[in-house]
Amino acid sequence: MKRWRALVFPAALLALLEAWARTAGRGSDALAAPSAAARALAGLAADGSLWSASAFTLGGAALGLALGALAGGALGIVLGLSRRSAAAAFLTVELLRPVPSVALIPLAMLIYGFGLAMEVSVVAFATFWPMLVLAQAAARGVEPRLLEVAAALELAPRALLTSVLLPAMAGRLFVALRLGVAIALVVAVTVEIAANPNGMGYAMTIAQQSLDPAAMLAWLGWIGVVGWAVNAGALALERRLARRMGAAPEPTAAPRR
């Protein structure tokens, strides 16, 4: 029952937009009725363009996230465990971290040209910094006595990472990963809208330039659905891996009744 309650507001909003489009907004070049957008979405699915564009965007976001998360997480753990390393890298991190990822699009275009590599590089840069900062905070939050026991047992670096650090940091790392998933998809679509002639963002831009509001809204709605599905998948993966590693995920606020 609670799940159905969450659909009340979007359903009412769509009904109002449908009524407006059929009355006062009839013939508008900017907005289309949700029913027209649904028909356009069905047409995009039928001709295959929906799936090819979605695969490109999700592929670029996933590859960029993988690179950014691995590099940022690894460096964050090192900086979190070593005060000297953190102090040495502080200025560099604070200078580069505020740089907007979209500001790297011209540079990435010069290096890689158009295509997947350019998009992946920008997404990796965008996801690297939150993963680094949150992994560093997670490493600093590890109980010192666990590290003392590991040192007394003379654990190898690999055993220290897999048996001590990752289980102790799992909750915060999963939160960082979920944040990275959202950032990766947003940046991937933004890159496609701004510069990359591929993917869902580019398809939406082409629909807008073609004065086809139904197709534009169809792509916009589909991007929202994909984002919701990706976030739900990341949350399910977080819970499953947390149970396997013996760490409870970070608590989320319970919905109000």
Does any domain span residue 2? Answer: no
Does any domain span residue 71? Answer: yes
Does any domain span residue 6? Answer: no
Which value, in Å, is the radius of gyration of the alpha carbons in the chain? 22
Distance separating alpha carbons of residues 170 and 246, to the nearest angstrom: 9
- Say if CB 123 and CB 61 are below 8 A apart: yes
Does any domain span residue 250? Answer: no
Does any domain span residue 56? Answer: yes
Does any domain span residue 235? Answer: yes
Consecutive sets of 10 residues in the chain, 257 residues long: mean pLDDT of each?
Answer: 69 76 66 81 90 92 92 87 83 85 87 88 91 85 70 70 71 80 90 88 89 87 90 80 57 43
Could you list the residue range(s) of the whole structural domain that residue 151 is in?
33-245
Distance separating alpha carbons of residues 113 and 40, to the nearest angstrom: 31
- Say if CB 238 and CB 178 are below 8 A apart: yes
pTM to 2 decimals? 0.79
CATH number at residue 124: 1.10.3720.10
Look at the chain and report how many structural domains it folds into: 1
Contacts 24+ apart (CB under 8 A), 133-136: 133/76, 133/97, 134/76, 134/172, 134/173, 134/175, 134/176, 134/179, 135/72, 135/73, 135/74, 135/75, 135/76, 135/77, 135/80, 135/169, 135/172, 135/173, 135/176, 136/76, 136/77, 136/79, 136/80, 136/86
User: Residue 108: how many CB atoms within 10 A of its CB?
Assistant: 21
Does any domain span residue 8? Answer: no
Does any domain span residue 65? Answer: yes
- The pLDDT, as a whole number, for residue 51 is 92
